[in-house]
Structure 1
Amino acid sequence: MSDAPPSSSVSASARSSLPIGTLVAGCLAVCLAQIGLAIPATLNGLFQEHLHPVGSQLTWISDAFLLPVAVLELSFGVLGDLFGRKQLLVGGAGVLCVGEIVAASASGVHQLWVGMALAGLGAAALFPTSLAMIAAGTHTGVQRARAIAVWASSLSAGGFLAPLLGGFTGTYGSWRSAFVVVAVLAAVSALVSLWLAANSRAPEGRSLDFGGQVTIGVGLFALLYAVIQGPTDGWGSAPVVAAFVIAVVFVALFVYAESRARSPLLRLDLFRNRSFAVAAVVAVVGMFSFLGTAYASSIRLGPIQHQSPMRTAFAFLLLNGITPLLTPLTSRLLHRLSSRWLLTVGLALIAAGDFLAAGLDVNDRALTSLILPLGLVGIGFGFTVSSITATAVNTVPVPLAGMASAATNLLRDFGFTLGPAVIGAVALSQAASRVTASLATSSSLDAGSKAAAHEVLKEGGPLALNSVPATSPPGAARTYALDALGHGYGIGFVVCGSAALLSAVLVMTALRGRTAEEDASEAKEGAEQPAPATG
C-alpha cells in the first residue's frame, strides 16, 4: 500500500496553506512602502543644505508622500478586490520605483515633490494590497493570525530600517543615493511579486466610491495647503482663506456623499458607537502627535542644528525601533487588559516625552539628551498604535470589524499627514515672529546686517536665515534665527504633547463604562449568531 495521503487530503492542505511566495511578496512590499514613507525625514538637513527650500517647502516634501497614502489607500483596496491584487502589488512597486528615481534626480525642490508624490501613490497601493493578499491566501483563523503577525513585523521592520538606510547613505554618500537604494528595492519587490505572488480578487459587493474619493481628496489637499502655506503666505491671504473654505465645503460634501453611497469609503454609522468614535478621534490626534514629534525632531537635528543624517537616524531609531521590540509584550497585555488602559498609558508616555523634548536647549547637540524624551515617545507609540485598532475593532459588531479596521487606518493616516503640516506651521510662525522681534531690538547688529537678515527672512524664513554662511552680512543674525527656531519647534513639541495628553484624558473619561447602544448592539449580534453545537 502507498504511504501517500489521499489526493483529497493533499488538495485540502494546499487550499488551507498560504503560498510562501505570496507571503514573501506581501511582506517585502509593505516593508518597502514603510521605508519609502519614513526615509525622507532623516534627510531634511541635506535637503535644506543642497536644495535650499524656503518657507514651507520643506514640509511639503514629507506631505507629498503622505497625502496620496491617506487619500487613496482605501480605494486601492477596492481596486485590488475588483481587478486583481497581484497586478496592483506589481504596479504599486513599479510606481514607487519611478517616484524614487524622479526624486533621486531632482535638481530642485519641486521635482522632489513630484517624486515623493509618485512614490506615495505607489505606497498607497502596497499597504492595503499586501495585507489583503496575505489574508486571502489563508483559510483558517490560526494561519491568518500568524500570517498577519508576520506582515505587521515586516511593516515595523521598514520603520526600523528606514533611518539606518537614510543615515548611512546620507552620511557616507548623498541623499540621492538613499532614493536610489529604495528604487532598487522597489524593482526587486515588483519582480518578486510578479514571479512568486498568487493572484486573488473578491469583486462581490465591491465598488468604487467616486464621490467620496473626489471630495475627501480635494478637501484634504485644501486643508493641508492652507495649514502649510499659512506661515509663508499669511493666514489672512486670499489663497489661504480660499483653501480653508474649500476644505470645509468639500469635507461637508464628503459626509453627504458617504451618507448616500452604496459602498462608502467611510461608513458614518460606525460613529454612532461611542467607543469607535473615541478611537477614531484618538487615531487622528494621537498619530498627529507622534508624527508631529518625529517631524520636529528631524528639523531640530537637521536644518536647525546641521547634524549628520546618521545622528538624525539615532532619533528615529528611538521613535520607530522600539515598537517591534514591544510587540510580544503588547500582544500579551492586550489579551489580559482592556485596550483602554494600554491606550491611555501609551498616550501619556508620548505626552511626557514631548514635554521633556520641549525643554531641551537648542544648543544641546548631545544625542544622549534625546534618549529619555524620544524613548518615552517611542514606547508610547508602541503601546498606542496597537491599542487604537483593538479599541475600534473590538467594540463594534463582528460584521463591521473589517470596515472599522479600514476606517481606523484611514483616520490614522490622516493624523500622520496632519503632523508635519500643523507642527511646521506652528513652529515656523512662532519662529518668524520671534526672530523679527529680536532683530528689531538688537543693538549688536548694524543697519546693513539687519537689512540683509530681513531680506533673507522675507524670502526663505527662519530656516534659510539659520543656514546662511556666518561670514555673509546676514550671517551675524544666525544666533537670533537659531534661538527663534529652538523656541518655535519647542512649542511644536508642546502642541504634540498636549494633543497626546488630551487624547489620554478622552480615552479615560469617554470610554469609562458602556453605553446602552453598545450593549444593545452586542445583544443583537449575539442573538443573530447560530447556537453552538451540542454533543
Structure 2
Amino acid sequence: MATSIVAPSVLLDRRSQRFLALAVICLAELLVVLDNTIVNVALPSIGVQLRTGVSGLQWVVDAYTLTFAGLLLAAGNLGDRYGRRRIMTIGLIGIAVMSIGGALAESMTQVIVARAAMGVFAAAVFPATLALIINIFTDRRERALAIAAWTAMAGFAIAIGPISGGWLLEHFSWHSVFWINVPVAVVALIATLLWVPESRADTIGRLDLIGIALSIAGITLLVWSIIEAPHNGWLSLTTLCTAALGAVLLAAFVAWELRTAAPILDMRLFGNRRFSLPALAIAIGYFSMFGFLFLITQYFQGVREYTPLEFGIASLPFAFSVAIGAPVATLLAQRVGTTAVLVIGLLLIGAGLYLGGQVTVDSTYLIGVLPSMVLMALGLGIVQGPATESIMSSLPLNEAGAGSAVNDTTREIGGTLGVAVLGSIVASYYTSRIGPRIDAIPLTIMNDNEKSLVKASPLSVLELRKRELAPFFETQRENLIVAMKAATLQGAHAASLVATVAVLVCAVIVATLLPWRPHDGESVLLGWRDTDDTEPKN
C-alpha cells in the first residue's frame, strides 16, 4: 500500500533537498536525545538543592522516558493518520513550552512533572523523524546512509549533552539545562515547516485507546515497583503486588492487541525475526546504555568528585565512540549481514560492562575507566544502526510510523528499565551499607535532614565535602566519604554484572535465531521477499 507525499514532488526529486530535510529531522532528533543526556549532568545539583535521594533522581530521568515510551506507539499511529510532520511540529512546540516550565520549577515535584510532560511531546517527535526518513529516502543505499546519520546523531547528542550541560552548570544554575531546549526547539520548528515534506498513510484503522491505556499503566507500574524496591523492600507486599499488577496489565495488553481489529502494536510483527530480534538487541543495548550513564554520573561526581564540566569532558570518548560506530556498522551490515554485526556489537558492550565493573576507588581514568567506556560505546553504536535498518527494511512504507514507534519504544523501555534496575541495585547496596554508619552520628554533628540526604544518595559527597567542620572531625568525615564511595562501587559492580549477563544472553539469542545471510529468506508475515530491491513488494 502506497504512502502519499503531500509536499511538492519536486522537493523529493532533488537529492540536495532530501538531505537538507534529513539535516532538519536530525536536529529534531538531537533535541529529544539531548533532553536525556544533558539532565544527567545536572542530577547532583538538582539532588542537593531540592534535597532528594537516588529514587528522586531516578524519577527525574524516568519521568521523561516513561511517558515517552508509553506514548510512542500512539504518536506513531497519529503521525500515520494525520501527518508525520504535523505531529512532529506539535511535539516541538510542546517541548519548548514544557522546558520553560522545568526551568521555572522550584520543587522536585515540579521538575518531575515538567520532565513527564516533555516526554509526552518528545514521543510526538521521535517516531515521526524515522518515519519521515523512510518515506523520503526510497533508494535502499540512500536509506541506509540516512539511517546511519540518524543513529549517529544520537551519539552526537550524547557527546554535546554532558559537556554543554557541564559548561552551563559552571556558569548558571541547573535551570539552564531546561532553558537550552527552547532555542533549539524553535529553530527545529521553523526549519521543519520550511524544508521537511509531509507524509501520511493512505488508510489506517481506529485509534486503539484501550491498548494505549493498558501499555502505559503496565509499564508505569512495573518500573515504579523497581525504582521504589530499595525503599519498600524487594520482597515487600507493595513491591510484589505492584510488579504483579504491572505484569498482568502488560499481558492483557498483548492479549488485546492480538484480537483487536486495529491494534496500536501489531503483535504479528514479532513473528518476523528480522524485526523482533534486532528490536531485542536495541532494547538490551539501551538497557545497558541508560543504566551505564546513570551509574557513570554517580561515579564521576560522587566517587571522583568531578565538577559538571569535568564530567562532560571525561564522558566525551563514550559519546564519540557511539557516533563513530553507528554509521560504519550500518554500511558494513550491507556487505556482511546484520547478524554478524549485531553479535560483535553485543559482545563489545558486554566486555565494556564487565571492565566497568572492575573499577575501584583508586582506579585511574585512562587505565580503569576509559577502556570500558570506549568498548561499550562502540558496541552500542555498532548495534543500533544495523538493527534500526533491519527493523525498518522489514516493513512496507505504509507502516513506517508504526514500525518507527516500535523501534523507538524498545529503546525507551530498555533505557527506562536500565535506569530503574541498575539504579535500584546501586541504591540497595549503598543504603544497606551506609545507613547504619549515618545513624550512629550524633545529631549535634549532622541533623536528621542531612542524614537522610547522605543515606539516600552517594552524590551527597559533594555537599558533605563543602561543610565546615572542626579539625577534630576531619578524619571521621574522610573515613565516611571513603565508605560512601566504596559502597557506591560495590553496588555498581553488582549492577554491571547483571547488565553483562543480559547482554551476553541477548548475543547468544541473536546468533542462534537471526539468519546470518544478508537479506536472505522470506517474510511470511508481510508477504514479500527480503531481497535487495529498493521497495518491498506487497
Q: TM-score range by the shorter chain?
A: 0.7 to 0.9
- 2:317–2:374 CA contact under 8 A, matched in 1: yes
1:437 positional shift: 6.2
- 1:59–1:421 CA contact under 8 A, matched in 2: yes
1:224 positional shift: 1.1
1:57 positional shift: 0.4
Structural mapping, 1:227-242, within 5 Å: 227-242=226-241
> Within the alignment, does 1:488 sit opposite 2:483 as a pair?
no
Partner residue of 1:85? 84
Alignment RMSD, CA only? 3.6
Q: Distance in 1 between matches of 2:494 and 2:331?
A: 36
- 1:291–1:420 CA contact under 8 A, matched in 2: yes
Q: Which amino acid aligns with 1:234?
A: G
- 2:77–2:207 CA contact under 8 A, matched in 1: yes
Q: Which amino acid aligns with 1:469?
A: L
Q: Distance in 1 between matches of 2:258 and 2:128?
A: 26
Structural mapping, 1:51-66, within 5 Å: 51-66=50-65
1:113 positional shift: 0.8
Q: Distance in 1 between matches of 2:163 and 2:391?
A: 33
Structural mapping, 1:247-396, within 5 Å: 247-274=246-273, 276-364=275-363, 366=365, 369-390=368-389, 392=391
Q: Which amino acid aligns with 2:180?
A: V
SS at match of 1:362: coil
Q: Distance in 2 between matches of 1:88 and 1:256?
A: 29
1:373 positional shift: 0.9
1:270 positional shift: 2.9
SS at match of 1:175: coil
- 1:98–1:118 CA contact under 8 A, matched in 2: no
Of residues 269-278 and 480-489 in structure 1, the stretch that sits farther from structure 2 once superposed is: 269-278
1:511 positional shift: 3.6
Q: Distance in 2 between matches of 1:364 and 1:86?
A: 48
Q: Which amino acid aligns with 1:259?
A: L
Structural mapping, 1:443-458, within 5 Å: 456-457=451-452
1:88 positional shift: 2.0
User: Which structure would you say has the larger Rg?
Assistant: 1
Q: Distance in 1 between matches of 2:482 and 2:166?
A: 27
8, 13, 17: which one aligns with 1:16: 13
Partner residue of 2:207? 208
Partner residue of 2:424? 425
Residues 431-479 of structure 1, C-alpha deviation per residue, up to 9 Å, x if partnerless? 2222246679xxxx77668996898259852437645535568956333
SS at match of 1:201: strand
- Whose RCO is larger (CA < 8 A, sep 6+)? 2
Name the count of aligned residue pairs: 513
1:50 positional shift: 2.4
Q: Distance in 2 between matches of 1:74 and 1:522?
A: 20
Partner residue of 1:5? none
Structural mapping, 1:108-257, within 5 Å: 108-137=107-136, 144=143, 147-257=146-256
487, 498, 502: which one aligns with 2:501: 498
SS at match of 1:94: helix
For residues 136 and 276 of structure 1, do their structure 2 counterparts lie closer, same or farther at Cα, with a shift above 3 Å needed? Answer: closer
Residues 100-142 of structure 1, C-alpha deviation per residue, up to 9 Å, x if partnerless? 2222222222211112112222211111223333444456556
Q: Distance in 2 between matches of 1:39 and 1:183?
A: 14
Q: Distance in 1 between matches of 2:163 and 2:222?
A: 33
- 2:44–2:459 CA contact under 8 A, matched in 1: no
SS at match of 1:56: helix
500, 509, 513: which one aligns with 2:512: 509
Percent of aligned pairs with the same residue?
26
- 1:212–1:265 CA contact under 8 A, matched in 2: yes
- 1:357–1:370 CA contact under 8 A, matched in 2: yes
Q: Which amino acid aligns with 2:253?
A: F
Gaps of 5+ in 2: 1-7, 534-538
- 2:438–2:451 CA contact under 8 A, matched in 1: no
Q: Which amino acid aligns with 2:498?
A: V
Q: Distance in 2 between matches of 1:528 and 1:414?
A: 31
Partner residue of 2:104? 105
- 1:48–1:303 CA contact under 8 A, matched in 2: no
Q: Distance in 2 between matches of 1:522 and 1:260?
A: 16
450, 468, 477: which one aligns with 2:480: 477
Q: Distance in 2 between matches of 1:172 and 1:85?
A: 38
For residues 103 and 364 of structure 1, do their structure 2 counterparts lie closer, same or farther at Cα, with a shift above 3 Å needed? Answer: farther
Gaps of 5+ in 1: 1-10, 531-535
Q: Which amino acid aligns with 1:242?
A: C
